[in-house]
C-alpha cells in the first residue's frame, strides 16, 4: 500500500479547504446565502436559520485541485471528477433556487431525478463499455462475480442516484454528512491504494481530506453548511469511485448510515400512508428520530461516526 498516495492528495485538499472556507463564509454572508430551516423539523434547529450554506463549493474545489496536482490524468479520473462535479452543480442549482426564492425547497423532485439519472446513466455506460469488468459486479464476502448484462446500466444508475439522495438526507446535523463521508472516503482510498485503483484512490483521499477540512467549520455549532451543492457532490463522488473500482455493492455496507437514513424516510412515508396518519418514527430521517428521543445532536453525530467506522472495518473483509 502506498501511503503517500493517500496522504498527499488528502493533505492538499485539507489545506485548500481550511484556507478556502474562512475566505468563502463572508462572501456567502454578503450574498445572503443563508440556510432556510424547515418548520416541521426539530424546533431546536430554528436557531440555525441564516447560517451560510453552499460551502460544498469549496469541498469540490479542494478535491478537484488536489486530484489535478497529485494524480496522473486518465479517463477514469476524468469520469469520476465529472460525475462528482456534475452532481455538485445539480446541488448548486437546487441551493440557488432555495436562496433566491427564500424557501426550503429548491428544484422539484422530478427535475432533480431526471438530471440525476442522466448523469448516472452516463457513468454506467462508461464503466460497461470501457472497464475490463464490463457489466460484471462483485458480490461482497463470497468472492463471486455476477454478469448483469443489459441490467447493468439501470442497476448502476439506481446505485448512483440512491447514493446521492441518501447522502443528501444524511446532511441534517452539524458534522454528520461531512464526518461520515470522511470515513467512507478514507476506506475507499485504502481500497484503491491496496488494489491499485490509483485514480479512484487519489480521488477518495482528496475527498476525505476535504471533508476533514470542512468539518473544522461544520462541527457543532456549524459556521457553514455544505448545502445540496456539497451533499449531492459527496454522494455522486463516492458512488462513482466505488463503481470504477467495481465494489458498488460494498457501499451499502460501508455507507450503512446513508442507507439507514434513506430507508427511515421511505418507511416513515409508507407507514404513515398505510396506518392512516400514524408515524413509525418520531421524525425522519433517522437522525431526527434520535434527537426527538432526547439525544443531543453531538451524541447522534458521534454514534453515527462510530457506526460508520465499524461498518468500514467490516467491509474490508468483504473485498
For 49-67, write each residue's pLDDT tens digit.
Answer: 889 999 999 999 999 999 9
Domain presence at residue 49? yes
Residue-wise pLDDT for 111-136, tens only, equals 999 999 999 999 999 999 998 889 99
pLDDT confidence of residue 43: 67
pLDDT confidence of residue 303: 98
pLDDT confidence of residue 8: 96
Domain presence at residue 259? no
Domain presence at residue 183? yes
Domain presence at residue 283? no
Domain count across the chain = 1
Q: Is the pLDDT of residue 77 over 90?
A: yes
pLDDT confidence of residue 226: 97
Indicate the angle between helix axes 256-274 and 152-170, nearest 10 degrees: 90
Residue-wise pLDDT for 170-213, tens only, equals 999 999 999 999 999 999 999 999 998 999 999 999 999 999 99
d(CA 129, CA 280): 43
pLDDT confidence of residue 57: 98
Residue 239 pLDDT level (bands cut at 50, 70, 90): very high
pLDDT confidence of residue 262: 97
Domain presence at residue 291? no
Domain presence at residue 302? no
Domain presence at residue 285? no
What's this model's pTM, rounded to 2 decimal places?
A: 0.95
Mean pLDDT of 26-50: 78
Residue-wise pLDDT for 155-167, tens only, equals 999 999 999 999 9
% residues pLDDT > 70 (the chain) = 96
pLDDT confidence of residue 38: 65
Domain presence at residue 45? yes
d(CA 7, CA 189): 10
Mean pLDDT of the chain, nearest integer: 93
% residues pLDDT > 90 (the chain) = 82
Indicate the angle between helix axes 3-30 and 176-194, nearest 10 degrees: 150
**Shortest CA distance to 53 belongs to which of 108, 102, 125?**
102
Could you tell me the residue range of the domain that residue 234 belongs to?
Answer: 3-252
Amino acid at each position: 500500500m502506498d501511503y503517500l498516495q493517500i496522504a498527499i492528495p488528502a493533505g492538499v485538499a485539507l489545506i485548500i479547504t481550511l484556507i478556502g472556507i474562512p475566505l468563502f463564509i463572508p462572501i456567502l454572508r454578503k450574498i445572503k446565502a443563508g440556510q432556510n430551516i424547515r418548520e416541521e423539523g426539530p424546533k431546536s434547529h430554528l436557531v440555525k436559520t441564516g447560517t451560510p450554506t453552499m460551502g460544498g463549493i469549496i469541498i469540490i474545489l479542494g478535491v478537484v485541485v488536489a486530484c489535478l496536482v497529485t494524480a496522473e490524468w486518465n479517463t477514469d479520473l476524468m469520469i469520476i471528477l465529472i460525475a462528482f462535479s456534475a452532481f455538485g452543480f445539480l446541488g448548486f442549482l437546487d441551493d440557488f433556487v432555495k436562496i433566491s426564492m427564500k424557501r426550503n425547497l429548491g428544484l422539484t423532485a422530478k427535475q432533480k431525478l431526471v438530471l440525476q439519472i442522466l448523469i448516472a446513466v452516463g457513468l454506467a455506460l462508461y464503466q460497461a463499455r470501457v472497464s475490463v469488468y464490463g457489466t460484471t459486479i462483485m458480490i461482497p464476502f463470497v468472492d463471486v462475480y455476477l454478469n448483469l448484462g443489459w441490467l447493468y446500466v439501470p442497476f448502476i444508475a439506481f446505485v448512483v442516484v440512491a447514493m446521492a439522495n441518501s447522502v443528501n438526507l444524511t446532511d441534517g446535523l452539524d458534522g454528520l454528512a461531512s464526518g461520515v463521508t470522511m470515513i467512507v472516503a478514507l476506506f475507499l482510498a485504502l481500497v484503491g491504494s491496496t488494489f491499485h485503483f490509483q485514480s479512484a484512490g487519489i480521488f477518495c483521499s482528496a475527498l476525505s481530506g476535504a471533508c476533514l477540512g470542512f468539518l473544522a467549520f461544520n462541527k457543532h455549532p456549524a459556521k457553514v453548511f455544505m448545502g445540496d451543492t456539497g451533499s449531492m457532490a459527496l454522494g455522486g463522488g463516492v458512488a462513482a469511485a466505488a463503481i470504477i473500482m467495481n465494489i458498488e455493492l460494498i457501499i451499502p455496507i460501508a455507507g450503512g448510515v446513508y442507507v439507514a437514513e434513506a430507508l427511515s424516510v421511505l418507511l416513515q412515508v409508507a407507514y404513515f400512508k398505510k396506518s392512516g396518519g400514524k408515524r413509525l418514527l418520531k421524525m425522519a430521517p433517522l437522525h431526527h428520530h434520535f434527537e426527538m428521543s432526547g439525544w443531543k445532536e453531538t451524541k447522534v453525530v458521534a454514534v453515527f461516526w462510530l457506526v460508520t467506522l465499524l461498518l468500514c472495518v467490516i467491509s474490508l473483509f468483504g473485498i
